Structure 1
């Protein structure tokens, strides 16, 4: 896909991977609608995008509020003159044993990680179809491909958005709207600040800039998926061929993992 001068709606744009994607996309002189809960970081990113030659507007919103996805899409379409690319990047996490997580924390992850991007995509489809060459990008997670203890709800939402993307890609095949799923591994973002998981626990961190560069390359290359994480391919192969062996491998470090991720929350 030619990204030059495209109208792009990007959620979760104020920090982390979203911020890095906005700056990576800025080199293509896009028109960006930057969406997030807080105006201040969005304004900072918008200023950096403009310095790099792009255009940017800020759309503060809680995507989990009633009617918010449709309102955000309408605002972006009106201010950008259309939508060529929708990037569903906003997300949250609450790790820990399932019975130790509050019901409200379960629902909050489902609302932002799964329900909101589905409703955003639904609302954006008329504008995307009108583009003639459009793209939906869903930022999932390595945990959407490989189930990890203490990330049951988070993993379920990320597997859900990936499956949604795959199904939608096939639904829209040949209709001018492509869908790309991106699966970051552990990424050094503010979302991970409350986690004590490190390399010895299986968390090999990339920078958000590395993930953003790979995602944008996948967008340009019309890829179906972008999978990050140095060991992810090996783990996925092993999990497919002998999932019981992966169970045993993860069990060996389960007690320590529970300790280091018990406080991991971005809610």
Structure 2
């Protein structure tokens, strides 16, 4: 498992599963001739996307960013349509660190789309689900939590009842910004979803920013490259510009949940790569 040390925080990538989604949808209006030079696709035009939670260990606590694709929750049709070739191995990843899911103190949800939220619950009987991280507080924005439970005609296909009903008592919401522990914040951005949030950690001059699906892969660095999946693409563009500029000026690490090739990249003030952590394939 790959790790990153930023100030007092240690970040470790867990194995949360893998999907293969349409490259055109992931890069929106960007022509394939451009995006395929930065991120490869298969003969079906699909790109490989991890769903790997980040374990942040800081202040004596264990925090997860998002929860993976889960296990045995997708139908055969969904497995095929979403190109799922690997389900979650979070428990095995935690065991290698001498941890269990009971040791997770909080889950920081960038948003609640199925590929980020399926790992929050598990199937225990026919049509019955239970919380996976029973001891954890689950943080998300108020906007996201409201839409999760009351999806619209577009979002109903990604906000699933089985992913929120069993965890209702664990959820804590916030409006604009919340400090989880010293230096670790969640910040509401909107864009990809109306309630989307990023994760910011700062310890002196050392910084990492988890952009969630505003910058899903290393190939999404261009501030104008927004997904067709984004509900509010103009907001995505403006928020990506704001936070990438902030991170570049701080020479921050940018971490990824979906990228199949890079775990984290650090940029200078000009947006040029100065350091990186590749995924061990």
Q: TM-score range by the shorter chain?
A: 0.3 to 0.5
Answer 1 or 2: higher relative contact order, Cα 8 Å, separation at least 6.
Answer: 1
Structure whose residues are more often helix by fraction: 1
Structure whose residues are more often strand by fraction: 2
TM-score normalised by L of structure 2:
0.34
TM-score normalised by L of structure 1:
0.36
